[in-house]
Structure formats: C-alpha cells, structure tokens
Structure 1
Amino acid sequence: MTQVTIPLHRTPPVVRFLIAAPLLLAVLALSSVAQARGAPDSFADLVDKLLPTVVNISTTQTVEQGRGTEEFEEFFREFFERRGGGGGGEPAPRRRQNSLGSGFIIDRTGYIVTNHHVIAGADEISVRLADDTTLEATIVGSDEKTDLALLKVESPTPLPAARWGQSEDTRIGDWVIAIGNPLGLGGTVTAGIVSALQRDINAGPYDDFIQTDAAINKGNSGGPMFNIKGQVIGINSAIFSPSGGSIGIGFAIPSALAENIVLQLRDHGAVRRGWLGVRIQHVTDELAEGLRLDSARGALVASVSPGGPAEAAGVKQGDVILEFNGRPVPKYRNLSRMVAETPVGRDVAVVVWRKGKEVKLKVELGELKDEAAVAALPEETPGGTESGDVEALGLKLATITPELRSALSWTRRPTAS
C-alpha cells in the first residue's frame, strides 16, 4: 500500500478548510459536552459563600478504661476475689475521650445538623465556626436509625445558613462539593461527582445513600454535600475503605430524607414513624412467576402482626404490596421508607396483589414504638447469618416458611445453581 502525505504548508486552501472543519466541529462538540456537565473553571467563588455555613464539631465523653480482654478481666476478677480484695467489684478506671466531626448551619438562630454517631454519648459538645469562634452546643434531638442529629448554639449575632436542595433531582455524574473537618485539620473542601444513587450499604433500615468519589475521611461525618448550585443535597456519613482512608467511595444521606427528619427533631425533639405491622419478603423472579406477577416487584407479606394496622385493613399473609399511598413499590426496602415517612394516623391507599389480581385497601397507619420495633425483629434461624436487612419499623424480612408457601399456593422450590 502506498502512503500519501500531504504537507500542511502546501495544502490547497479548500483542502485545508475541509480538514479544519471537522476539527472545529469536534472542538465545539467537546465544548457543548463540558457545558452540559456544568463543569466550572473553578469552585472558588462558590466555596467562599459555603465555607461560613460549615462548622467543626468536637465532643468529649467519659468512658470506662478496660483492663484488657474479657479473658484477662475474668482472671483478675477471680484473683482479687480469692485474695479477698474485692477487686471484681471495684469500678473500672474512667478516662476522657475526644472525637471530631463536622456539621452545617441550617438556621440563622443557630440550628446545626450533624450525624448521630458524631455526638452519641457526648458529655460536652463544642462547635467551631469558620471564623474560629467556639460555641457550646446542646442536643435538640437525635435519631439513631437515620444517623442524624440536630444541635443548637447561642450566638450573639445571626449565623450564615446553608440551603437545602432537592436530592431527588440529583443525577449520576453531577458535580458535588464536600466540606468538612477531616482528621481534625479544619475546614477542607473536596469535589467529585455523584457515583451512584439509592445505595443500600446495610447501615440501617432506611439506607438510600448518595455515593460519591469526592474525598471523604474520618472527621467529615456530619458535613454537607453541596450541589453545583450551593445547595445541600446530602450529609456525608460513611466511607468504604479497607485502610480507613478515602479510596473514592463515600456515602451521604440524601436531603430528601434528612430534611424531614431534621424538621421533626426541631419541632418534637424526636422522630415519629408510621407503623404498618407486617413482615415482608423480597419478591424474586421465581416468586413473581409463581404469583403470576408481570415482574419481580413489590413487597411480599410474610406475616401480619395481630392487632396491627395492616390486619385491621384486611392485609393478608401472601399478599404482595404493589402500591403504597399512591406510589409504586419497586422493592421491599422502598416500602420501609414509605411507611416511615408517612404521618402517623393518616389513611393510606394500599394496592396488593392477591390470587392473580389487584385488591385495593385503606390502612390507617399506627405509630412505631420501641416494642413494635423489637417485635419486628426476625426469628433466628439455625446456621443463619446476619445480613443487616432487618426492617425495624413494623416491617420485617422473613424466610419462606412452609406456612407461607402454602398461603401462596406456591409449590416450586428454588434449584441450586
């Protein structure tokens, strides 16, 4: 094959234009893509406005200082008892322990959002503002199930406050900015993109995390995740890391969940959650086929709590809940969040799949109590392993028992693969 080379300086004008045109179009195309992504030349102007709304949180708590492992503790206890010294009854030494985290101001009067695990068990909480002012904080309310907490500081002057954004509008690939107090270094800014949405990391019954590759480290917990508009769309809460440092896999609680929880904490100091009173099972492809469902969706009712709202409404074992409060139920974990977010006492329309057809019901939601949450825990199965999939809100994961199989009129058994 003969290779022909056309020297650029000797190329006829028309040819040069034909060569340049595709290059120009390519540059314009790349420019339009960059513009569509909303990538700024710099985050500096935006960060200048956001930094004053973010705070560093330090806590102090008193903890027992153990003598060592349980085996050594037992040895020393028996030793002192034999000697008559009563060492086993002496209180363990206590020490002061400090921890660090982040938070952000949501109200000019001094309300601050952070993670529950940042302030859990704290005797004292201090908040350091962007101008290095340090204020003592009190806990307004805290919710362990969603890992959210609301603090209050008294400031002589109004404080700059962050704005909530709509996490529902967030898309994979969107730019995000994380600001916090990693490793106690103080206000630190990192940027990245949204890597995934609706992540379930088995941290709790309401997992719906935003995943990001923005660097998040210890101390970032409770800090805000901003979108490119400067709105809070998430609260940085966890990282996946074999080393303890950032490897580009961080998780944030979405604002759609956090804003409602924070509002309840501010108004009531606690969170009231709806209670349906059922145990639920994931609908597999095989189950869907056996139930004559068009696809694997919804939440299979494994059992109904006696005297609960579901029983009063006519929900039965073997039903598949397809819709709740006018919204489709794609997976069983979606139902968990839907029930929890619905006000107690509200009448809710529920659509279930029963014997090959849809049945419409009306349920008046109860309130989830501690005893209801305990009752919702799954029974231990021999040789079973903890999966972290427990739904402690009057909803519960269950295995397919012979009774449930009979209620479903489902005779097929899964085959090993």
Structure 2
Amino acid sequence: MSDPSVLATFSGAMADIVARAAPAVVSVHSRRSRASGFVWKAGLVVTADEALAEEGEVIVRFADGTERPATIAGRDHTTDIALLRVETSNIAPTKLSSAVPALGSLALVVAAERGVPAAALGLISLVGGTWRSLRGGDIDARIELDVRLRPSHEGGLALNGSGDAIGMAVLGARRVLVIPAATIARVASRLETHGRIARGYLGLGLQPVKLDDGIGAMVMSVDKAGPSAAAGIRQGDVIVGWNDEKISGVRALLRALGPDSVGATVDVAVRRGGEPVRVKLTVGERPET
C-alpha cells in the first residue's frame, strides 16, 4: 500500500510552486477579450499577442484585486508576444529560466482568472529544436504541454517541476505551446526599445517555380517604391540565389528576411529571359500594416 505522506508531500510542493509564482501573474482585459500575463520587468507585463484585442483600452488586474490601465508597448504577431506598460508597484518580476525541460517531466501553468490565480498540472509532451511559426516568427525551442488551457489562461507562466518559469503558455493549433524564455527575452527586449520587431522587406510578390536545376522564386509584382525596384529587379525575373547560395523556394527566401536582415546588402542571382543577372539589393524594413 502506498504511503499517503508521499502524495501529501507532492501536493504541498506543487502548491508552494504556484504560491511563489502567482503574485507576478495578472489578468489582462481588453475589448471583449481576457487573457493572462506576468510581470516581466518593473512596469512591464508580457502577455499573449493573439489574446490581446487590436484596439480599445487594456486593463491589468493583479492578484490583490487592484486594476490599472495599461498601454501596449509593442507586439509581435509572429512570436505571439505582446508587451504592456503598466504600474506594477512592488511586485517582483518573474525570473525566467532558459533551461529546456525534459520530455515527460511535470509542468505547471500558473495563470489568472479575473485576477484570481489559477493553476493546471500536466506533462511536457514534446521537446524539439528551434522552429518557425506559421506567421514567420523564430521560436528558440519547440515545447508542447499535455495540459488543459482555457482561453483566458493564455499568456500564463509555464513552469517545470522545480518551479522554474520556462516560458509563456499559449494556444496553438490543437495543442498547448510554450513560448520559451529565450524567445521572450529576445523579442520583449526589442519591443521595449523599439515598439515593434522589424522584418526584412523586398517589395516583391513571389511565386515558386520549378526549374531544370531546382526551384526558383518568380517575381509576379514589384513595389515601385520598394528596395527591389531600386535595385533593378523586374516583373518576370526568377530569383535563384541569395548571397551565392541557391534558394529552395519562396519560403526559404522569406526565412532570410528576419530582423537582422534589415539594412543588409545582399547579392541576388536572377534569371531574366533565361540569362543570368546579378543584382545588389539593400533589404528594407517591412512597413507596418
């Protein structure tokens, strides 16, 4: 027969983890939308971008019941990270851990329901390397949770069995994902400084096309005010290389247009009427839409 004290000890340990994390976890209310978030730095709260309304006022409710207005410091749709400015008083910010949890280990999500702390227990169901979201964001590790997550708990803290905050829990397609600490640190820091995440811009409409020796990206349209037009790229050109490397299609080309690409000058290999052409192009910054 199992020792009941073992279960009591385990239960107490989980409750202690939740109690330590809960003071920094908040509810985020925006136009007919409720989510969770956490104090990332003094005066700054991280929440899930997808759960944040596009317009209207934002109210943050803290664990003590206090409500304060917040402003959006920045948001990045591609990584599902939004940053809010709000008075956080004496609440200690969450200390995020860059450790990637082991597959099958315990995981806790600490969220908030109308300001009241809430928790859910589950397992780390999948662990993988870096990946790119459907919206083109670079995520530093693939972490999935086998846990039930209410929509209003999206943006809550994901913790490992030791109580370390490993990231933010969000709703993915038929699964619960963790936006890891490394991604939050990288993206939220840029949002704090610049208010947005810059993305590279070519000013081209592209379509994949099969070639005898691989796949290219055919130029279907050109923004006359964009960087490609300034470099001399024309409608009907087929892009086949990027900095002396063959491209494997349109997606591969778009993957090269991360934040660090803005302002970089690249050597683009083009086929124009079947003839090779080399173009020097300075990557622009994607306009806000």
TM-score by length of 2: 0.69
Q: Distance in 2 between matches of 1:314 and 1:50?
A: 59
Which structure has the larger Rg over C-alpha atoms?
A: 1
In the TM superposition, residue 125 of structure 1 has moved relative to its aligned partner by 0.6
Aligned partners of 2:68 and 2:86 also within 8 Å: yes
State the Cα distance separating 1:292 from its structure 2 match.
Answer: 0.7
Distance (Å, rounded) in 1 between the aligned partners of 2:270 and 2:101: 32
Aligned positions, number: 268
The CA distance in 2 between the partners of 1:304 and 1:276, in whole Å, is 11
Could you tell me how far 1:282 is from its partner in structure 2? 4.5
Greater relative contact order (CA < 8 Å, ≥ 6 in sequence): 2
For the 8 Å contact 1:321–1:352, the answer to whether it is kept is: yes
Q: Which amino acid in the other structure matches residue 223 of structure 1?
A: G
Residue aligned with 1:186, SS: strand
Give the structure 1 partner of residue 217 of structure 2.
300
1:279 paired residue among 193, 205, 216: 205
Do 2:57 and 2:69's aligned partners in 1 also have CA atoms closer than 8 Å? no
Greater share of residues in strand: 2
Cα distance per residue 1:102-131 (max 9 Å; x no partner): 112221x131100234332343412323xx
Question: Counterparts of 2:219 and 2:182 in 1: how far apart (Å)?
Answer: 29
Identity rate, percent = 23
Deviates more, 1:350-359 or 1:260-269: 350-359
1:139 to 71, 77, 84: 71
1:57 equivalent to 2:24? Answer no
Cα contact 1:304–1:315 (8 A) shared by 2: no
Gaps of 5+ in 1: 1-40, 62-96, 242-248, 374-417
Contact 1:176 1:214 in 2 (8 A): no
Give a deviation string over 1:347-391, Cα, whole Å, max 9, x none: 243564759999876432222224xx6xxxxxxxxxxxxxxxxxx
Q: Secondary structure at the match of 1:187?
A: strand
8 Å contact from structure 2 (residues 39, 88) kept in 1: no
Spell out the pairing of 1:7-406 with structure 2 (5 A cutoff): 44=14, 47=17, 51-52=21-22, 54-59=24-29, 61=31, 97=32, 99-107=33-41, 109-120=42-53, 121-129=55-63, 132=64, 134-143=66-75, 145-146=77-78, 147-157=80-90, 159-163=92-96, 165=98, 173=103, 175=105, 177-181=107-111, 186-195=117-126, 198=131, 200=133, 202=134, 204-206=135-137, 210-226=143-159, 234-241=167-174, 249-255=175-181, 257-282=183-208, 287=210, 290-293=211-214, 300-303=217-220, 305=222, 306-313=224-231, 317-322=237-242, 332-333=250-251, 335-342=253-260, 344=262, 346-350=263-267, 352=269, 354=271, 362-370=280-288
User: Which amino acid in structure 2 is aligned with residue 320 of structure 1?
Assistant: V
Query: In the alignment, what sits opposite 2:3?
Result: none
